[in-house]
Structure 1
Amino acid sequence: MKVKGFLGVLALGVVAVTLASCGASTDKQSKDDSKVGSKTLNLMVASEVTTLDSLNMLDFPDAVVQTAIFEGLYALDSDEKVTPGVAKELPEISEDGKTYTIKLREDAVWSNGTKVTANDFVYAWKKLADPAEGLVYSFLIQQTILNGAEVVTGEKPVDELGVKAIDDYTLEVQLSEPKPFFTSVLTFPVFFPQNQEFVEKQGDSYGASSDKVIYNGPFTIKEWKQGQLGWDLKKNETYHDKKNVKSDTIHYEVIKESSTALNLYDNDELDVATLTGVLASENTTHPDFISKPTAIINYVRLNQKRDGQATPLANENVRKALALGLDKKTMAEKVIADGSNGLDGMIPSGFVGNPETNEDFRKQAGDVMSFDKKAALSYWEKAKKELGKSTIEVELMVTDDGVYKKMGEYLQGNWEENLPGLKISIRSMPTEAALNFARESNYDMFLIYWAPDYQDPISTLNVFKTTNAMSYSNPKYDELLEKASTTYALDLEKRWETLIEAEKFLLEDTAGTVAVSQRNDAILQKDTVEGIDYHSYGAPIVLKGAYKK
Structure 2
Amino acid sequence: MLGDYIMKKTFLSVMALTALSSLGLVACGNQANGSNLSNGAKSKTLNWMEKGNLRTLDPSTIVESTSAETLANADQGLLANPKSNELDSGVAKSYKVSKDGKTYTFNLRHEKWSNGDPVTAKDFVYGFQRSVNPKTASQDSYILDHVANYSNVSKGKAPVSTLGVSAPNDYTFVVHLSKPQTYFKYLTAGSVMYPQNEKVVTKLGKSYGTTSQNQVYNGPYTIQGWNGTNDSWSLKKNPNYWNAKNVNLNQVKFHVVKDGQTGMNEYQTGMLDQLSLNSKQQVENYNHSSELHKFNTANSDYVELNQQKVSAFKNVKLRQALSYAIDRNQLVNNVLGDGSKPLNSFVANNLAKYKGKDFANEAKVNSSSQYDMNKAKELWKQGLKEVGKNGLDLKLTSDDSDTAKSVSEYMQSQWTKLPGLKVTNVSLPSQQRVSRLLSQNFDMCLTGWNPGIPDPSATLDTRESTNSMNFSKWKNTKFDALMNDAENTHSNDENKRWDDMVKAGKLADKDVSAVNLYQNARPTLLKTNVHGLRYNSTGDSWDFAKAYVSDK
Please give the TM-score of this superposition, normalised by the length of structure 1: 0.90
Following superposition of structure 1 onto structure 2, how do residues 108-507 of structure 1 map, counting pairs within 5 Å?
108-141=111-144, 143-278=145-280, 279-306=282-309, 310-354=310-354, 357-368=355-366, 369-373=368-372, 374-417=374-417, 419-467=418-466, 468-507=470-509
State percent identity of aligned pairs: 32
The letter for the 1-side match of 2:359 is F
- How much does 1:275 deviate? 0.5
* 1:530 match: 531
After superposition, give the CA deviation of every residue in 1:457-486 in whole Å (9 maximum; x if it has no partner): 111111111224322112111000000000
- How much does 1:157 deviate? 2.0
Runs of 4+ in structure 1 over 6 Å off: 19-25
The letter for the 2-side match of 1:293 is N
Task: Kindly indicate whether the alpha-carbon contact (under 8 Å) linking 1:47 and 1:254 is maintained by their aligned counterparts in 2.
Answer: yes
CA-based RMSD: 2.4
After superposition, give the CA deviation of every residue in 1:86-120 in whole Å (9 maximum; x if it has no partner): 0012x322233222121112x22112222211110
* 1:60 match: 65
Task: Kindly indicate whether the alpha-carbon contact (under 8 Å) linking 2:344 and 2:361 is maintained by their aligned counterparts in 1.
Answer: no
**For 1:102, which of 85, 106, 122 is the aligned residue?**
106
Task: Kindly indicate whether the alpha-carbon contact (under 8 Å) linking 1:37 and 1:548 is maintained by their aligned counterparts in 2.
Answer: yes
- How much does 1:34 deviate? 5.5
* 1:39 match: 44
SS at match of 1:69: coil
Task: Kindly indicate whether the alpha-carbon contact (under 8 Å) linking 1:353 and 1:361 is maintained by their aligned counterparts in 2.
Answer: yes
After superposition, give the CA deviation of every residue in 1:135-176 in whole Å (9 maximum; x if it has no partner): 2222222x3322212211222221221111122111111223
SS at match of 1:396: strand
Task: Kindly indicate whether the alpha-carbon contact (under 8 Å) linking 1:20 and 1:546 is maintained by their aligned counterparts in 2.
Answer: no
**1:380, 1:324 → 2: CA distance?**
10
Distance 1:144 1:453, change over 3 A: farther
**1:228, 1:253 → 2: CA distance?**
10
- How much does 1:10 deviate? 6.2
**1:518, 1:119 → 2: CA distance?**
40
**1:538, 1:119 → 2: CA distance?**
26
After superposition, give the CA deviation of every residue in 1:264-299 in whole Å (9 maximum; x if it has no partner): 111111111110123234332333111111111211
Task: Kindly indicate whether the alpha-carbon contact (under 8 Å) linking 1:24 and 1:247 is maintained by their aligned counterparts in 2.
Answer: no
After superposition, give the CA deviation of every residue in 1:476-523 in whole Å (9 maximum; x if it has no partner): 110000000001100012111111110100111x21111100011111
Task: Kindly indicate whether the alpha-carbon contact (under 8 Å) linking 2:134 and 2:156 is maintained by their aligned counterparts in 1.
Answer: yes
SS at match of 1:515: strand
* 1:14 match: none
**1:213, 1:390 → 2: CA distance?**
52
**1:203, 1:179 → 2: CA distance?**
34
- How much does 1:78 deviate? 4.1
* 1:518 match: 519
SS at match of 1:70: coil
* 2:547 match: 546
- How much does 1:37 deviate? 6.7
The letter for the 1-side match of 2:69 is V
Following superposition of structure 1 onto structure 2, how do residues 65-104 of structure 1 map, counting pairs within 5 Å?
65-79=70-84, 81-89=86-94, 91-104=95-108
Task: Kindly indicate whether the alpha-carbon contact (under 8 Å) linking 1:37 and 1:246 is maintained by their aligned counterparts in 2.
Answer: no
After superposition, give the CA deviation of every residue in 1:22-73 in whole Å (9 maximum; x if it has no partner): 9869xxx9xxx96447431111111122222222223222112111111110
Instruction: Name structure 2 gaps, 5 residues minimum.
Output: 10-23, 27-31
**For 2:53, which of 37, 40, 48 is the aligned residue?**
48
**1:358, 1:534 → 2: CA distance?**
24
SS at match of 1:305: coil
Task: Kindly indicate whether the alpha-carbon contact (under 8 Å) linking 1:2 and 1:59 is maintained by their aligned counterparts in 2.
Answer: yes
Distance 1:370 1:221, change over 3 A: closer
**1:410, 1:80 → 2: CA distance?**
39
**1:431, 1:255 → 2: CA distance?**
12
The letter for the 1-side match of 2:228 is Q
- How much does 1:407 deviate? 0.6
The letter for the 2-side match of 1:363 is N
Task: Kindly indicate whether the alpha-carbon contact (under 8 Å) linking 2:398 and 2:445 is maintained by their aligned counterparts in 1.
Answer: yes
The letter for the 1-side match of 2:324 is L
* 2:16 match: none
Instruction: Give the number of aligned pairs.
Output: 524
Please give the TM-score of this superposition, normalised by the length of structure 2: 0.90
The letter for the 2-side match of 1:41 is L
**1:338, 1:425 → 2: CA distance?**
26
Distance 1:180 1:297, change over 3 A: same
Segment drifting more, 203-212 vs 119-128: 203-212
Distance 1:160 1:20, change over 3 A: farther
